[in-house]
Structure formats: C-alpha cells, structure tokens
C-alpha cells in the first residue's frame, strides 16, 4: 500500500503539526518495529527536508544503528560518546548548533553541521533508543524541533511494546 506524505503550513510549527499527525497515522495498526521506525525516519527527513534522520537502538550497552534515511552512518556508539551517546547518558535532548564545537563529536559525515538528539524511554525510564536528526546547515534546530520531535519519539516509544 502506498502512503502519501503531505506537509502543509508555512511556519516550522505548522509543518511539524502536519507531520506529527501523519506519523501517528502512518504507524497505526502496523506492528513491525523496523517498518515503523523506517517510515518515521522517511517522514521526518522528507517532510522537514533534513540531511539525515535515524534511530540508534540500545543493544548490549551500545547504541547500534537502526533504521535511517540519508548517507551511510556510524554503526556503533558508546555511552557518553558524541552527541548521541551523551544524550543517552544524560537522558535528555541535546541541540547542537555547530557540531564542530561539541566536545567529542563523532563525524559520521562532514556534511552534517547541526544536530538534535532525543532519547526514547521504556516504562522503567531506561533509554531504549535515540532519534538523531542532522542537517547540513548551522543552527537548524531549536525548541520547536525539540517539542515536535519529542512527540514523534513518544509515538516511537509505544512501538517497542507491541
């Protein structure tokens, strides 16, 4: 079945509101985790025109690359390393305006200039994944991105219990 993604609105907030509703509808009724995470990545990347979007899943005390959209990426990240590992360790969203200024940034792609990472949790408040979104422009991400991408992360968290 083909799915259409139609993002409407002129402001970032309007576009996100349109995107979030479509992501919820996109995963509704589908039980396969890989399929759902893949579609979420595609919806975010193409809906918001970001450079790279992907999930890193916590497996055996490492973040392991999961479904993503964009150029090839780092496969494994240790806790506390780079933006993803730091967001995992600190259990909080991190927004980076210039990745070259983030201590210990892991450069999977030299084209990535700004980044936001949002952790996802299980019912015990353990991080089970992070959503990593990169852009090829500086200072792309702000509190609006954090709010709406966090809503998408909440949708993704529910998929881990299916």
- In this predicted structure, what is the pLDDT of residue 1? 40
Q: Residue 153 phi/psi, 5° resolution?
A: -60, -40
- In this predicted structure, what is the pLDDT of residue 120? 98
Architecture of domain 12-159: 2-Layer Sandwich (3.30)
Q: Which residue has the tokens 């494994």?
A: 76
Q: Residue 46 phi/psi, 5° resolution?
A: -85, -25
- In this predicted structure, what is the pLDDT of residue 161? 86
- DSSP states along 9-60: -SSHHHHHHHHHHHHHHHHTT---HHHHHHHHHHHHHHHHT-SEEEEEEEET
Residues of the chain with pLDDT under 70: 1-3
């Amino acid at each position: 079945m083909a799915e259409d993604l139609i993002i409407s609105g002129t402001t970032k907030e309007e576009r996100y509101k349109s995107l979030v509703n479509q992501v919820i509808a996109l995963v509704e009724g589908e039980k396969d985790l890989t399929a759902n995470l893949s579609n979420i990545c595609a919806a975010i990347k193409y809906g918001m025109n970001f450079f790279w979007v992907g999930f890193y899943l916590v497996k055996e005390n490492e973040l392991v690359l999961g479904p993503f959209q964009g150029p090839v990426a780092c496969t494994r990240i240790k806790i506390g390393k780079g933006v993803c590992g730091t967001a995992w360790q600190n259990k909080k969203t991190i927004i980076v305006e210039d990745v070259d200024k983030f201590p210990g940034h892991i450069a999977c792609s030299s084209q990535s200039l700004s980044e936001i990472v949002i952790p996802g949790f299980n019912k015990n408040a353990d991080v089970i994944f992070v959503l990593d979104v990169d852009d090829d422009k500086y200072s792309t991400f702000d509190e609006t991105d954090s709010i709406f991408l966090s809503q998408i992360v909440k949708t993704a968290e529910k998929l881990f219990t299916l």
